[in-house]
Amino acid sequence: MKFLHEFLLLLILAFAIFELVQAQDQTEFISLDCGLVPKDGSYREKLTNISYKSDADFIDSGLPGKINDTYTTRFQQQVWAMRSFPEGQRNCYNFSLTANKKYLIRGTFLYGDYDGLNRPPSFDLYIGPNKWTSVSILGVINGSVHEMIHVVTKKRLEVCLVKTGETTPFISSLELRPLNNNTYLTQRGSLIMVARVYFSSTPSFVRYDEDVHDRTWVPYLDNKNSVLSTDVSVNTDNFYDVPQPVAKTAAVPANRSEPLKIDWILDDITAQSYIYMHFAEIQNLDEANDTREFNITYNDGQAWFSYFRPQNFTITTIYNPRAVSSPNGNFNFTFAMTGNSTLPPLINGFEIYKVLDLEQLETDQDEVSAMVNIKTTYDLSKKVSWQGDPCVPRLYRWEGLNCSYPPSKAEPPRIISLNLSGSNLSGTITPEISKLTQLIEIDLSNNDLSGGIPDFLDTMNLLKIINLSGNPKLNNNSVPIYLQKKIDSKILTLIRDETRKKSTSSPVAAIAASVAGVFALLVILAIVFVVMRRKQKNNEAPGSRSVTAGTVKSDTRSSSSSIITKERKFTYSEVLKMTNNFVRVLGKGGFGTVYHGNLDDAEVAVKMLSHSSAQGYKEFKAEVELLLRVHHRHLVGLVGYCDNGDNLALIYEYMANGDLRENMLGKRGGNVLSWETRMQIAVEAAQGLEYLHNGCRPPMVHRDVKTTNILLNERSQAKLADFGLSRSFPVDGESHVMTVVAGTPGYLDPEYYRTNWLSEKSDVYSFGIVLLEIVTNQPVIDKNRERPHINEWVAFMLTSGDIRSIVDPKLMEDYDKNCVWKVVELALACVNPSSNRRPTMPHVVMELNECLALEIQRKQGSQDTYTKDNSVEFSISSASDFAPRAR
């Protein structure tokens, strides 16, 4: 290290010509309060005036949580909430940034016993495919802050939390700050902050907005040093933008004749280090014979900088352009007066970093973007491992991928096989796959793909195996020319279902005719088995994929309710007997009266189709056709029907506790539905609807989702009723069908009403209205209200920022406010006038489940720590027509 002379140290001076300090605002900052709900929430932190927002747009996974309320007063708001990651090995935040720009990245972790386990976790932090650091939380209220300076080479940046043991990773806040490109230069790698210190006798941190880059400066003073300070403003205008509070104070030795000493130890003895020291003369040297001059040496007298004279009220930064290291990790710096100096040495601030080598290259960027597109095209967000870089680190490679890892570290990993078997893919085979040019093997079997075998497969030269089997809707007839040639010359294997005829002959015949050998035997056995099972247990549709083409997929979670024993066709006299001559009326539906009945010792509801009903018969047939095929825990089951000339009847399982609307209104007696019960009902109804949209083949639109169509059984399980208006619509081609507009005013999707185009998003709209009713217990339309329609009224009331103004007062504020916000926000997304911007039902189910979990967690946890007045205050950005609550 003897070669290190002062000429290797660069001196950065502030130049008077740059005296105009550019006012820098935080517009380029990314400040995430992780786990902040609602997900478009934001606020201005009181101490720093930094504007934090929720992290929801930057990550797909994790659960929001918050620290134990008893600690909140001690900390700034950005650490009150956090996001934890109980699922998956690696969970990643994803940012879109400017390529080749330098950022300061800061993760803050405050455990605060958010999970009530009193067990501070440990886990790893990654930057892209490279490990950044290990995070080890030392105590319940020991915060941990990790900061690095990193040049973003691509437009994308991923920050990942990786589970390393039993404990669950979490993060409280994540902040990104752009830095000047020409500061903190390294020969290679990024910089991990070890310390950033200034000298002050007051124990206050310095950060934004005194530091325009929002670096955090920690005050430091030991008994060997004392503080010098000035009121005069210091010229800090070199590239490093040292904040005024740092520049205006300095350390000098307590004993003038002693040198100034600073030392530290890096636990990683192999670490390469960069050290930045900031100096300014902050004493008036008006007497001509006063001089401050000193030598800086380190580790037993090695020269760092000699004869240094701090500039008069002007910052000079000294740093080493080449990394240094110390064999034992110790760094001892000595600042000693030179012979001509009349004043002791001084220093205003310094920063210590160690180099993080970014050895692992990311996967080929075109392939990464192809994978990301495949993920979105087929909505594979449920794949927990599909986060971060697809191939690296190898340990966290995306499930279903295989990659090649070139031995030379200069080349990126490439994707060589893709297995998406049984991943619920639907639609056509995406051309994005062709961008995976190194693919050898591709398995798309057992999905619901449609369309044909795409031509682009021809261009993928390395392909050896293509598996397209188990995609009943895929048209296998035409194989691209070159593909066929490769198959013929046995270079490539294509596995596919045998071509089926378009005719509607029985599936047994079709399959028996097309397969051969043992396999055929197995399939036939399976069919026989299925058919037999079906005879015995008719409430379940067959489960084997090979015979389900065109029929409804079975749901293993389907109802086990004892009354659904058989699908049956009844005679009118049986109906008379069942209902005891229609003695007890349960209610009147759109198509007729519903009577109570008894069938095989079980109660049933018998809906008689009124003779006057205009499209009666058609609706009846539609409902029978559908309901006999659809079975799901959260859909009201059809027990049987009667089709005797003019007498049409549907016999349903009996829902003892009536509909949601009357329960909400208290017409059923009993208690007010608690928030938890409401959430439970919402989740269940949403699951029923999700099944109609995604579980059925072909998918169905309910078309009349409303609170009176959500029924509760004796155990208050919710089920969706009334498929009278449901109509199958095709999946292929158009995503919606023209139909006669039907539905209930107030619940009707305005886009559907206007355009007459029906899609499942119309149900999402109606479901949003249901959610608003669940929260508010207000009528959907009320002409006497400021805003008659419920969604306009909610949006109007929320301009005050106070959720309580809309929540059903009967709940007596016994709910998790964050959860209510989340539901309201979700509901408003569902009723977005543009159907494209509404969420899908799986998303709705997920959000509601999260909310239910929050509520259950709250109920299980001590109620009194979540005192209503102390709960997190937050505001919503104006983008959704809300204004933050005035403080």
Residues identified as active-site: 704
- Does 100 interact with ligand NAG (rule: CB under 6 A)? yes
Q: Is the dihedral of CA 254, 256, 258, 261 positive or negative?
A: positive
- Does 863 interact with ligand NAG (rule: CB under 6 A)? no
Q: Which stretch binds ligand NAG (CB under 6 A): 33-41, 240-248, 338-346, 571-579?
A: 338-346
Give the shortest CB-405-to-ligand NAG separation in angstroms. Answer: 20
Whether the link from the prior residue into 698 is cis, omega within 30° of 0, is yes
Give the shortest CB-137-to-ligand NAG separation in angstroms. Answer: 16
**Residue pointed to by tokens 């008379």:** 576
- Does 339 interact with ligand NAG (rule: CB under 6 A)? yes
Q: Which stretch binds ligand NAG (CB under 6 A): 335-343, 735-743, 745-753, 878-886?
A: 335-343
- Does 332 interact with ligand NAG (rule: CB under 6 A)? yes
- Does 342 interact with ligand NAG (rule: CB under 6 A)? yes
- Does 524 interact with ligand NAG (rule: CB under 6 A)? no
- Does 19 interact with ligand NAG (rule: CB under 6 A)? no
830 Cβ partners below 8 Å, 6+ apart?
Answer: 764, 765, 767, 768, 769, 771, 838, 839, 844
Q: Determine contact, residues 819/851, Cβ cutoff 8 Å.
A: yes
Q: Determine contact, residues 762/752, Cβ cutoff 8 Å.
A: yes
Give the shortest CB-162-to-ligand NAG separation in angstroms. Answer: 16
Rg of the Cα atoms in the chain? 34
30-33/51-54 β-pairing: parallel
CB of 58 or CB of 641, closer to ligand NAG: 58
| Residue 819 C-alpha from the chain's centroid | 16
Q: Which stretch binds ligand NAG (CB under 6 A): 283-291, 352-360, 578-586, 605-613?
A: 283-291
Distance (Å, rounded) from C-alpha 770 to C-alpha 682? 8
CB of 388 or CB of 597, closer to ligand NAG: 388
DSSP β-bridge partners for residue 273 = 324, 354
Q: Determine contact, residues 252/346, Cβ cutoff 8 Å.
A: yes
Q: Determine contact, residues 190/133, Cβ cutoff 8 Å.
A: no
Q: Which of 166, 300, 601, 646 binds ligand NAG (CB under 6 A)?
A: 300
Q: Which of 204, 223, 270, 289 binds ligand NAG (CB under 6 A)?
A: 289
Q: Which stretch binds ligand NAG (CB under 6 A): 417-425, 742-750, 857-865, 877-885?
A: 857-865
Secondary structure, 3-state, 326-365:
CCCCEEEEEEEECCCCCECCCECEEEEEEEECCCCCCCCH
Give the shortest CB-338-to-ligand NAG separation in angstroms. Answer: 5
Q: Which of 73, 257, 270, 340 binds ligand NAG (CB under 6 A)?
A: 340
Distance (Å, rounded) from C-alpha 597 to C-alpha 578? 5
- Does 867 interact with ligand NAG (rule: CB under 6 A)? no
Residue 723 corresponds to which tokens in the numbers above?
């498929």
607 known member of a binding site = yes
State the alpha helices, DSSP H only, in 159-283.
244-247
Q: Which stretch binds ligand NAG (CB under 6 A): 306-314, 701-709, 728-736, 752-760?
A: 306-314
- Residue 554 carries which side chain, given as an amino acid letter? S
Give the interface size with ligand NAG as a residue count (CB under 6 A): 36
Q: Which of 133, 330, 593, 713 binds ligand NAG (CB under 6 A)?
A: 330
Q: How many CA atoms lie within 13 A of 706 on its CB side?
A: 20
- Does 181 interact with ligand NAG (rule: CB under 6 A)? yes
Residue 529 corresponds to which tokens in the numbers above?
């088995």
- Does 646 interact with ligand NAG (rule: CB under 6 A)? no
The 246-265 site mask, x for binding ligand NAG (CB under 6 A), equals -----------------x--
Q: What are phi and psi of 773, to 5 degrees?
A: -65, -40
The 57-96 site mask, x for binding ligand NAG (CB under 6 A), equals -----------x-x-----------------------x-x
Q: Which of 427, 454, 746, 861 binds ligand NAG (CB under 6 A)?
A: 861
DSSP letter for each residue of 663-684 = HHTTTT-SPPPPHHHHHHHHHH
3-state secondary structure of 314: strand
The 397-426 site mask, x for binding ligand NAG (CB under 6 A), equals ------------------------------
- Does 301 interact with ligand NAG (rule: CB under 6 A)? no
**CA nearest 66: which of 36, 91, 42?**
36
Q: Which stretch binds ligand NAG (CB under 6 A): 250-258, 300-308, 483-491, 720-728?
A: 300-308
Q: Which stretch binds ligand NAG (CB under 6 A): 29-37, 336-344, 696-704, 791-799?
A: 336-344
- Does 187 interact with ligand NAG (rule: CB under 6 A)? no
- Residue 729 carries which side chain, given as an amino acid letter? F
Which residues in 759-778 contact ligand NAG (CB under 6 A)?
none
Q: Is the dihedral of CA 471, 474, 475, 481 positive or negative?
A: negative
What's the chain's length in residues? Answer: 887
CB of 309 or CB of 496, closer to ligand NAG: 309
Q: Which of 86, 116, 809, 833 binds ligand NAG (CB under 6 A)?
A: 116
Enter the DSSP assignment of 475.
E
- Does 25 interact with ligand NAG (rule: CB under 6 A)? yes
Q: Is the dihedral of CA 679, 683, 684, 689 positive or negative?
A: positive
Give the shortest CB-454-to-ligand NAG separation in angstroms. Answer: 22
Q: Which of 303, 380, 510, 563 binds ligand NAG (CB under 6 A)?
A: 303
DSSP letter for each residue of 569-619 = EE-HHHHHHHTTTT--EEEEETTEEEEEEEETTEEEEEEEPPTT-TTHHHH
**CA nearest 663: which of 763, 770, 762, 748?**
770
CB of 372 or CB of 510, closer to ligand NAG: 372
Q: Which of 24, 75, 101, 643 binds ligand NAG (CB under 6 A)?
A: 101
Give the shortest CB-827-to-ligand NAG separation in angstroms. Answer: 25
Q: Which residues of 470-492 are buried (b: 16+ CB within 10 A; e: fewer)?
A: bbbbbebeebbeebeebeeeeeb
CB of 339 or CB of 517, closer to ligand NAG: 339
414-419/401-404 β-pairing: antiparallel
- Does 286 interact with ligand NAG (rule: CB under 6 A)? yes
The 130-169 site mask, x for binding ligand NAG (CB under 6 A), equals --------------------------x-------------
Q: Which of 186, 229, 306, 377 binds ligand NAG (CB under 6 A)?
A: 306
Q: Determine contact, residues 617/591, Cβ cutoff 8 Å.
A: no
CB of 95 or CB of 874, closer to ligand NAG: 95
- Does 180 interact with ligand NAG (rule: CB under 6 A)? no
Residue 551 corresponds to which tokens in the numbers above?
């029929």
Give the shortest CB-358-to-ligand NAG separation in angstroms. Answer: 15
- Does 878 interact with ligand NAG (rule: CB under 6 A)? no
Give the shortest CB-340-to-ligand NAG separation in angstroms. Answer: 4
Q: Which of 97, 218, 336, 781 binds ligand NAG (CB under 6 A)?
A: 336
Residue 455 corresponds to which tokens in the numbers above?
């031509």
> CA geometry: angle at 143 spanning 137 and 147, to 5°?
95
| Binding site per annotation, positions | 607
| Residue ranges binding ligand NAG (CB under 6 A) | 25, 49, 68, 70, 94, 96, 100-101, 113, 116, 156, 181, 263, 284-287, 289, 295, 299-300, 303, 306, 312-313, 330, 332, 336, 338-340, 342, 372, 861-862, 865
| Binding site per annotation, positions for ATP | 607
